Structure 1
Amino acid sequence: MSEQLRYQEIAPPAFLFDLDGTLIDSVYQHVIAWRTALAEMGIDLSVWRIHRRIGMSGGLFVAALLRETGVRLSTEQLEALQRAHAREYNAQIDSVRALPGAPELLRSLTERGIPWAIATSGRAETARSALGTLGLPEDTPMVTRDLVRYAKPDPDLFLAAASLLGVDPGNAMVVGDSVWDLLAARRAGALGVGLLSGGYGREELERTGAFRVYTDPADLLQRLDELGVRQ
């Protein structure tokens, strides 16, 4: 007599989303905000150099750029730089839009009972406004830079987001647009999914650990079955 195979049903994966360049089209607003803030300190950097660091924590971002220029700033100047960036970004907030398919993707996951959260290297003063842009309520699960010790490429943001949802990071997928998101995902023990909507190339994202790469949230929504999400 053949034995019937037994297996334990595995829950569908949870999703942990980066914010800038992943759900909202805001990468270049951040680039210009940083460029303006740096210029106020007398630091002139090309836009492409700034773009390559977007997605890191603000502290690492500034440290990396200053290393390239050889400029040294005091603690007070660094804090002033962060405030100037927030001011300049918020001045452009009306030009920030949800990326194609982002609200629909989040709504679809919610309707299917699949847990998700947002984990961003941005601070609450700039990140919380994205909830309205995405049509999300104020109580949407979100972890910002203010809530963890270290931001990307450290795994803290994604570990905190998984904890907020009550899920194992190993059963979560991190969706991000930068190499810093994918490095943090690997360190958190989660699978990485890349999006091209933040300006990084497919090969860069795949080399950093993305096992699938999509154009934007709309493309991901159409191919959710490739990630183990079924109707």
Structure 2
Amino acid sequence: MSETTAIQYPAPEPPAFLFDLDGTLVDSVYQHVIAWRAALAAMGIDLAVWRIHRRIGMSGGLFVSALMRETGLELSPEEVEDIQRLHAEEYLRQHESVRPLPGAPELLAALTERGVKWAIATSGRAETARTALGILGLPEDTPMVTRDQVRHAKPDPDLFLAAAAHLGVDPRGAMVVGDSVWDLLAARRAGALGVGVLSGGYGRDELERTGAYRVYRDTGDMLDRLDELGIRRPGPAGSR
């Protein structure tokens, strides 16, 4: 019996990863909720915490617009800007309590070690978002796209399209990792595959209904199961 000859072909490039920030890499969702509540209260707007939480992940402008629709309030552009400024100030007062989510630094280090491209794409503005780099132990030149750099934030795809362009990859070959329905809606519109994590407070069913291909407990769980996403371990065992 003749031996079967293995077909030789170029190894495929691993997918790039585009990460949301708050609730995905850093445990900051509730700091943002408290900051938004304080900012709204300073403008005389009393809103339940749960209603604020459901909008975390949107840009500040969309967040305020959505709440205006829900409450029937009318705010001027200047008042909307004031609320966003007050939110940023309150969040920065709390940022020292923000911690990396379990496995986040280790996951990013593992992807880098395996030659996988990745970037962060967040609806937060640079003044608040870039504080997370130090928290995660990342250098200042880490690929990051913030709200200030694009025309529209999530659920529009602009942030993920810009992050893919920054990495020089086709977004249709990338995976978006996020904790909210807004991340996954933006991923679908960018043509990327969505991966959900439960660390931001959304349920598995919600993330799957919005298009998550896989859902993990957090980034540590995702690190343990990278082979499910086509990222193999280095060495002989990972080459199979």
What range describes the TM-score normalised by the shorter chain of this pair? over 0.9
RMSD: 1.4
Uncovered stretches (5+) of structure 2, i.e. residues with no partner: 234-240
How many Å separate the matches in 2 of 1:209 and 1:57?
Answer: 20
Match of 2:212 among 207, 210, 213: 210
* 1:58 CA displacement: 1.1
Partner SS state of residue 199, structure 2: helix
Partner SS state of residue 18, structure 2: strand
Structure 2 residue aligned with 1:111: 113
Match of 1:173 among 159, 175, 182: 175
* 1:10 CA displacement: 2.0
Aligned residues between the structures = 231
Structure 1 residue aligned with 2:48: 46
Structure 1 residue aligned with 2:159: 157
How many Å separate the matches in 1 of 2:95 and 2:6?
Answer: 58
Cα deviation 1:53-112 (Å, max 9, x = unaligned): 000111111100111111111111111111000000001011000000000000000000
Uncovered stretches (5+) of structure 1, i.e. residues with no partner: none
Structure with max Cα Rg? 2
Cα deviation 1:90-140 (Å, max 9, x = unaligned): 010110000000000000000000000000000000000000000000000
Q: State the identity as a percent.
A: 78
| Paired AA for residue 201 in structure 1 | G
Cα deviation 1:178-226 (Å, max 9, x = unaligned): 0000000000000000000000000000000001000001000000000
Partner SS state of residue 21, structure 1: coil
TM-score normalised by L of structure 2:
0.94
User: 1:1-231 residue pairs with structure 2 within 5 A?
Assistant: 5=7, 7-231=9-233
Question: Runs of 4+ in structure 1 displaced over 3 angstroms?
Answer: 2-9
How many Å separate the matches in 1 of 2:23 and 2:167?
Answer: 23
How many Å separate the matches in 1 of 2:214 and 2:187?
Answer: 13
How many Å separate the matches in 1 of 2:112 and 2:40?
Answer: 40
How many Å separate the matches in 2 of 1:214 and 1:140?
Answer: 24
